[in-house]
Amino acid sequence: MNKFAFHKMDEVKGIIPFYKLEMDESILLNEFENEIANNSKYLSQFRAALSWMEEVANKKTIPDTKFKPLDRGKEATGVFEFKTKNLRIYGMSLPGGKIIIFGGYKNNKQNKNIKRAKRIANEIIDLKLTPNEKTRITKES
């Protein structure tokens, strides 16, 4: 059973709000940021990814080399990735905004990460969770 909560991202400012996902009391993106904290190359790319998120938050069209949906069509989960040279940051679109799920690397674990992102996205969709700027939403699946 997973417990979910959404935390508004202050790093990203724009028309479309961005949220970090908390799952079972861990904010996964924060954990990823801590993981790369001592790697200046990855940290630089992380900052760039946050900056591209802000372009999306302001409804700008950006290159699909930076931001790409991971599935399309009727059964789509709305999962996407922000891409840099070495990093991948996975998220999903919901009616109230964009949810950043977790971060990973460009490596042989990408397919596994994409499956994980979609699995989490499906749980959130099944629970009918939507983000709200002023409230913390926690539901158990």
Number of residues near another protein (by CB under 8 A): 22
Binding mask 12-31 toward another protein (x if CB under 8 A, else -) reads: -x------------------
Tell me the three state secondary structure of residue 6: strand
- Report the residue from 31, 39, 62, 119 that binds another protein according to the rule CB under 8 A: 62
Q: Are 11 and 52 in contact (CB under 8 A)?
A: no
> Strand pairing of 97-105 and 18-23?
parallel
7: contact with another protein by CB under 8 A: no
Residue 34 binds to another protein (criterion: CB under 8 A): no
Distance between CA 7 and CA 100 in Å, rounded? 10
Q: Which of 27, 44, 69, 132 binds another protein (CB under 8 A)?
A: 44
Angle made by CA atoms 100, 49, 59, in degrees to the nearest 5: 75
**Cβ 65 to another protein, closest distance in Å?**
4
Tell me which of 33, 114, 132, 141 binds another protein, using CB under 8 A: 33
Burial class (CB in 10 A: 0-12, 13-18, 19+), 86: middle
Q: How many CB atoms lie within 10 A of CB 65?
A: 8
Nearer to another protein among residue 55 and residue 123 (C-beta): 55
Q: Applying CB under 8 A, which residues contact another protein?
A: 10-11, 13, 33, 44-48, 50-52, 54-55, 60-63, 65-66, 133-134
